[in-house]
Structure 1
């Protein structure tokens, strides 16, 4: 028969309530997992066990803290005993009652016979926390050198860099939406495609490049000079992904892939048309190619 909670010490009663709540959650976890269906059962179980462990640790720390608070007068009397006060275990006990001598060290009001321009030097050791930290760095350095350079069990910076670059390369999308991968389209030459490209150009491109592609804010598209390549796949890439640094918007998501190819093909069909008021050449010159050969 369980002891009523009201007859238990309240820290233990609190721990019992929390643990009983964890047991109830453990019983309900399979049903909840079955309802969701989309969650990984093992992952859900892992997080449940981890949260339960953290909860138990918090309860344990809380109980210890409450016991220390309750027993602080007795612990102080033990700490003040001459046989305990100056021992290492006594200093650990001092931390529990508020004496940080173990970490801070003892301050000696003893002056050395050194005198530098009126500045006197005290005979004080380095704080223990500083010395412990320094010792820890020495241990870390020895372990690091042994693990990476002597045993060669771990990868060095160069190997880690090469591995991360290889992983990054695997994450690059291989499809047509990858801006680093050039497409392999051919120029469309049918009158229907060029007519559709002309309509799309007049609606979306003419405000910046001019009605005859002579160039306004954007460059002239009828000469042999190109800023980002004049082959159909380079033009397709420029239209699809844009050049935000130069004000060229990306038409991906606004035009379909076929529409972008139609516009690209129409632009290339204007090569050598020499419209009036054409903008001066920009970019690098590329050899002229007929639409039929593209």
Structure 2
């Protein structure tokens, strides 16, 4: 009996797991409800379509009788009569009264007709007035909604959550200062000659790429903007990203060397491109 009891104790958990595995997984209740919702929407749309077809058919059959009712003066001037007029082909409710009566105003031979504004225009104007009061009450009185500035701030805060905090974030601007030592400027010159001169020229006068010696910049002339352009490149403009080929120190050396060329006016310099911006020119310390 003791051996049988121990066997049952060990087999109990296994049997429980087997029973759990064999139990059918309950289907989510949301899917049948969604199907039922769209089924009801489809039935409602079909019913409305049937009623519309029947209404058009009835109006077409009864149009002569409706026309005679509409011709009655007491009916024609009423609001319901104008609605009836739409059914028999009179667009007065939408177009307004066209009396073609000339007023006694005469300005340089220009006469004024006494016609009503189109009702659709007047009703639209009334709707804008109601909307203005609702907007004022909702946003300024009750302050239930965010104004444009607050909405912008909220969106910027939400966007900040998606920005990567690391150094490879192209939207994050660095806070470097231009290098000014002779060694850094010399290293930057060597790196520029071997990597950048093919597009910008040996003296940065500009070839395929823009001239880098003037005061005009396409993507900013401050050292951190130049650093960012070199590191991440410019998609669609032919400027490749150098972050995988040059180290951060080397990129800063190249950026500093470029800024040291400001105002050198090399021969055959390319015409200015971009916005004028006086960049801080590093001075080499000998």
Q: TM-score, normalized by length of structure 1?
A: 0.50
CA distance in 1, matches of 2:57, 2:251: 79
- 1:239–1:260: 8 Å Cα contact kept in structure 2? no
Pair 1:286 & 2:282 matched: yes
Q: Secondary structure at the match of 2:145?
A: coil
Measure how far apart 1:102 and its partner are. 1.4
Pair 1:157 & 2:148 matched: yes
CA distance in 2, matches of 1:119, 1:214: 71
CA distance in 1, matches of 2:71, 2:150: 57
Pair 1:260 & 2:256 matched: no
Measure how far apart 1:131 and its partner are. 2.8
Question: Of residues 198, 202, 212 in structure 2, which corresponds to 1:207?
Answer: 198
Counterpart in the other structure of 2:170: 179
Measure how far apart 1:240 and its partner are. 2.7
Count of residues in Structure 1 that have an aligned counterpart in Structure 2: 216
Counterpart in the other structure of 2:239: 250
Measure how far apart 1:88 and its partner are. 1.2
Rate the CA distance shift 1:145–1:70 in 2: closer, same or farther, 3 A.
same
Rate the CA distance shift 1:131–1:215 in 2: closer, same or farther, 3 A.
closer
The worse-fitting range, judged by mean Cα deviation, of 159-168 and 235-244 is 235-244
CA distance in 2, matches of 1:208, 1:111: 74
CA distance in 2, matches of 1:208, 1:182: 25
More relative contact order, 1 or 2 (CA 8 Å, 6+ apart): 2
- 1:236–1:264: 8 Å Cα contact kept in structure 2? no
CA distance in 1, matches of 2:111, 2:228: 74
Pair 1:116 & 2:135 matched: no
Measure how far apart 1:83 and its partner are. 4.5
Measure how far apart 1:98 and its partner are. 1.5
Counterpart in the other structure of 2:23: none
Unpaired segments ≥5 residues, structure 2: 1-26, 177-190, 214-220, 258-263, 267-277
Measure how far apart 1:265 and its partner are. 6.7
Q: Secondary structure at the match of 1:116?
A: strand
CA distance in 2, matches of 1:131, 1:265: 65
Tell me the alpha carbon deviations over residues 113-146 of structure 1, each in whole angstroms, 9 at most, x when there is no partner: x353666655544333333233223322222222
Q: TM-score, normalized by length of structure 2?
A: 0.51
Measure how far apart 1:235 and its partner are. 7.0
Q: Secondary structure at the match of 1:259?
A: coil
Which aligned pairs between 1:74-113 and structure 2 lie closer than 5 A?
74-108=65-99
Which aligned pairs between 1:1-294 and structure 2 lie closer than 5 A?
52=42, 55-56=45-46, 60-108=51-99, 114-116=104-106, 122-182=113-173, 204-208=195-199, 215=204, 217=206, 228-229=222-223, 237-242=228-233, 249-252=238-241, 257-261=243-247, 264=250, 284-286=280-282
Rate the CA distance shift 1:146–1:169 in 2: closer, same or farther, 3 A.
same
Measure how far apart 1:157 and its partner are. 3.2
CA distance in 2, matches of 1:120, 1:216: 68
CA distance in 1, matches of 2:40, 2:283: 66
